[in-house]
Amino acid sequence: MPAAAPAPTAANTTSSGSGQTVCVTGAGGFIASWIVKLLLERGYTVRGTVRNPDDSKNSHLKELEGAEERLTLHKVDLLDLESVKAVINGCDGIIHTASPVTDNPEEMVEPAVNGAKNVIIAAAEAKVRRVVFTSSIGAVYMDPSRNIDEVVDESCWSNLEYCKNTKNWYCYGKAVAEQAAWDEAKARGVDLVVVNPVLVLGPLLQSTMNASTIHILKYLTGSAKTYANATQAYVHVKDVALAHVLVYEIPSASGRYLCSESSLHRGELVEILAKYFPEYPIPTKCSDEKNPRAKAYTFSNKRLKDLGLEFTPVHQCLYDTVKSLQDKGHLPLPTK
């Protein structure tokens, strides 16, 4: 049984954030909370943007080591350029993680695009050193014409027409928001670097559930009686946080960085869960027993490895996720 994953390592980073101020948008989110934690540990002063600084949903941020001295939370509407400018003015850098997570086109597309543009505009005026933008694998691999045997790398983009036709507004919104950020950054001379994570798992810092951990929870509660003939790529949240900080700190970092440890078929996923947590009613049957097992895309993570990021193995990632769901009370401990 593995212990909780240690902090991920990066061989070539000795940078200290002492004296630097970084703005993290959407600071209370799953990935952003870990980014804030890591920045504070490295000595940065952090300005976090949230919808409501007094909301109990953000209380975990105030409990982080160094938060009392070097973290401030700010109520910011990313669609209001003036409020974005107010928080970014005086910052050395920005990590823009805030984005809607929905398949409703009206709630997804325009807010994601305009929020990204406003951050870049404010960054240009404040003359920040670098903006790191959290995109998604959804902006990269959604293309039915791509051969499943081709390695998906940073040069790949999702097919927008395909996303629209299949009503995959989340992937569509992520792709157009990332493209808008690149266009705006180029026009305004802003140094932009993008991280494209796959499905992110691992321990929760916040008390509330998030969409990616619900993906695992259903296989433990008995609500899923079978598993789909489908694949998914996974990465540990600590690795995603470190990826953002590395591409901010390392001067030579540029362009896009796919952040993925490995892909699993749902059958492999439930096997790992059953190995570590046999006491839960984990499904053993596939919902599709007629067709061959779906093949997974291979996502390149070479660019992040070249920066020194050592990825946490996927089985550790799954173990940490379940332990966190237990610790936070989202998953009852099994009765003996």
Q: For residue 1, what pLDDT is reported?
A: 60
* Domain CATH number, residue 74: 3.40.50.720
Does the pLDDT of residue 176 top 70, yes or no?
yes
How many domains, the chain? 1
Percent of the chain with pLDDT over 90: 85
- Whether 150 is covered by a domain: the verdict is yes
Find, among 133, 127, 138, the residue nearest to 35 by Cα.
133
Q: For residue 333, what pLDDT is reported?
A: 85
Does the pLDDT of residue 43 top 60, yes or no?
yes
Q: For residue 230, what pLDDT is reported?
A: 96
pLDDT in tens, 249-270: 999 999 999 999 999 999 999 9
The residue with tokens 């079978």 is 226
- Whether 10 is covered by a domain: the verdict is no
How far does the chain reach from its first CA to its final CA, in angstroms? 18
Give the mean pLDDT of the chain.
93
Active-site residue, selected from the candidate residues 174, 218, 225, 290: 174
- Whether 231 is covered by a domain: the verdict is yes
Q: For residue 103, what pLDDT is reported?
A: 82
Find, among 74, 96, 82, the residue nearest to 174 by Cα.
96
- Whether 138 is covered by a domain: the verdict is yes
d(Cα 317, Cα 319) in Å, to the nearest integer?
A: 6
**Amino acid, res. 271:** E
**Residue 68: domain span:** 21-328
pTM, 2 dp: 0.94
**3-state SS of the chain?**
CCCCCCCCCECCCCCCCCCCEEEEECCCCHHHHHHHHHHHHCCCEEEEEECCCCCHHHHHHHCCCCHHHHEEEEECCCCCHHHHHHHHCCCCEEEECCCCCCCCHHHHHHHHHHHHHHHHHHHHHHCCCEEEEECCHHHCCCCCCCCCCCEECCCCCCCHHHHHHCCCHHHHHHHHHHHHHHHHHHHHCCCEEEEEECEEECCCCCCCCCHHHHHHHHHHHCCCCCECCCEEEEEEHHHHHHHHHHHHHCCCCCEEEEECCEEEEHHHHHHHHHHHCCCCCCCCCECCCCCCCCCCCEECCHHHHHCCECCCCHHHHHHHHHHHHHHCCCCCCCCC
Does the pLDDT of residue 13 top 50, yes or no?
no
Which is more confident, 219 or 57?
219
- Whether 177 is covered by a domain: the verdict is yes
Q: Is residue 174 annotated as part of the catalytic site, yes or no?
A: yes
> Per DSSP, what are the bridge partners of residue 71?
46
- Whether 14 is covered by a domain: the verdict is no
- Whether 198 is covered by a domain: the verdict is yes
d(Cα 66, Cα 44) in Å, to the nearest integer?
A: 9
Does the pLDDT of residue 11 top 50, yes or no?
no
> In this structure, what is the dihedral angle of CA atoms 173, 175, 176, 181, given to the nearest 10 degrees?
120
- Whether 221 is covered by a domain: the verdict is yes
Q: For residue 14, what pLDDT is reported?
A: 42
Average of pLDDT values for 7-19? Answer: 58
The pLDDT-based confidence of 8 (bands split at 50, 70, 90) is low
d(Cα 78, Cα 168) in Å, to the nearest integer?
A: 23
- Between the alpha carbon of residue 173 and those of residues 33, 106, 123, 134, the distances in Å are 23, 10, 22, 13
175 touches 2 (CB < 8 A): no
